[in-house]
Amino acid sequence: MAKDSASEADRVELRVLRRDEWDIWYDTLIRAFGGVPEAAEERELWDSLTELDHSLGAWDGDVCVGTAGAFSFRLTVPGGAVVPAAGVTMVSVAATHRRQGVLTSMMRRQLDDVRESGRSLAILTASEPEIYGRFGYGVGTFQVSTEIDTTRVRLSVPPGTDDVGLRYAVPADVLDVCEAVYARKVSERPGMLARLPGWERLGLLDPESEREGASPLQCVLAERGGEVVGYARFHVKPEWDASGAKGVVRLRDVQALDPAAQAALWRFLFGIDLTSTVKAYARPVDEAWQFQVSDIRRCAVRVRDGLHVRLVDVGAALQARTYQAPVDVVFEVADAFCPWNAGRWRLSGDAKGASCERTTDSADLSLSVRELGAAYLGGVSLAALGAAGRVRELRQGALAEASVGFGSVVAPWLPHGF
């Protein structure tokens, strides 16, 4: 049986995607995720954003049996620097070719390509989180979803909220000013993506098939002194029962330049006429509204994984960020999938900068590249990973020192999927 599987794997050819293959390649991806066709506008967007040079197809003869792509992103890391990262995406293997080494071969080729391109990081969102740990990815950010009963929950707002004016606007007409707000926020939170041309269209996608009976996309701007200081994009789904209106506000995105503008937008969402619920998905775990509500239990908060992070070049990645407290630690790193990372690395850094070089000095901490990826953006504590048995302390005090240094003042967060 093993011999047959090996011969089938040998028959599969892995190659860079050609323009005339995109439709077949994308249809293979869609089938792997259930086969429900996407709206034409969504398909067209992903077609325009696909980077052919960074996309792979696995072919069994003329049949596409595997897909994998990568976007050229710029990712905010602790300290505010925005660094190149490969956004791994559109990964699938046909059900007919599972457990034949197709995925492993695509991951191998992809990480080799990322390294050759000089990018030190690869990131992804996982449909099945258990898949990617064996390739060195660790869960680096978490996100909150909520369903707030706005008939029972009140919102306390900070001083200055009443100075913020709100107005409705057509989402497409104010895209530029909304993107300007977003761009000013990028450096403030690790995990955020600096949007390259074309990606601004993602926030305007609004296929009717995905509204589930809700309104077309709506937008409200927050303004102060003639300047746009925030925005919210959302849908409203009217619902009624014998007792009256019970509509639902489905939040797509909200960004603001200061706490008062943020509070003004959330207060507006809480108070939309004929609604009783605000649903929000994939929000930061430390977002302010959670500490302004009168009853967090009536907000049905749920936490799940967000961005998975892989250090492709340990030295370059660790010195690309800063550290909130001085760190001088030697890591013994295990990395079976990318063996060029394996061995000892001395990291020395603080809030001004860092260096990370090979060393023969005795190790202070022992861990795999997966744990470094989890801790990299500052949202997962090395000490917590140590308590889970995933980091081994070899020098007393080294784990606490590194944990404090790796932390982030604000929780890392991925603002949108890819």
**Active-site residue 418, yes or no?**
yes
Q: Does residue 81 contact residue 321 with C-beta atoms inside 8 Å?
A: yes
Of 26, 71, 73, 132, catalytic:
132
- Is 128 annotated among the ligand-binding residues? yes
Of 71, 137, 323, 418, catalytic:
418
In which residue are the tokens 């077949």 written? 24
Q: Phi, psi at residue 306, to the nearest 5°?
A: -120, -95
User: How many residues make up the chain in this entry?
Assistant: 418
- Is 100 annotated among the ligand-binding residues? yes
Helix pair angle (22-32, 40-49), 10° resolution: 120
**The pair of three-digit structure tokens given for residue 247, joined into one six-digit string:** 């509509």
- Is 91 annotated among the ligand-binding residues? yes
**Active-site residue 26, yes or no?**
no
If we measure between CA atoms, which residue out of 192, 276, 181, 260 comes closest to residue 219? Answer: 181
Q: Does residue 98 contact residue 78 with C-beta atoms inside 8 Å?
A: no
- Is 103 annotated among the ligand-binding residues? yes
Q: What's the DSSP call for residue 71?
A: E
**The pair of three-digit structure tokens given for residue 26, joined into one six-digit string:** 């994308």
Distances in whole angstroms, Cα of residue 331 to Cα of each of 340, 342, 371: 14, 10, 11
Angstrom distance (rounded) from CA 376 to CA 139: 10
Angstrom distance (rounded) from CA 412 to CA 190: 5
Q: How many CB atoms lie within 10 A of CB 139?
A: 20
- Is 208 annotated among the ligand-binding residues? no
If we measure between CA atoms, which residue out of 282, 238, 237, 10 comes closest to residue 144? Answer: 282
In order, the DSSP letters of 331-349 are EEEE-SSSGGG-EEEEEEE
Q: Phi, psi at residue 252, to the nearest 5°?
A: -95, -40
If we measure between CA atoms, which residue out of 231, 249, 212, 119 comes closest to residue 173? Answer: 231
Q: What's the DSSP call for residue 19?
A: G
- Is 369 annotated among the ligand-binding residues? no
Half-sphere exposure of 169 (CA within 13 A, CB side): 21
Q: Which residues are annotated as a binding site for acetyl-CoA?
A: 91-93, 99-104, 127-128
Give the residue numbers marked as catalytic: 132, 418
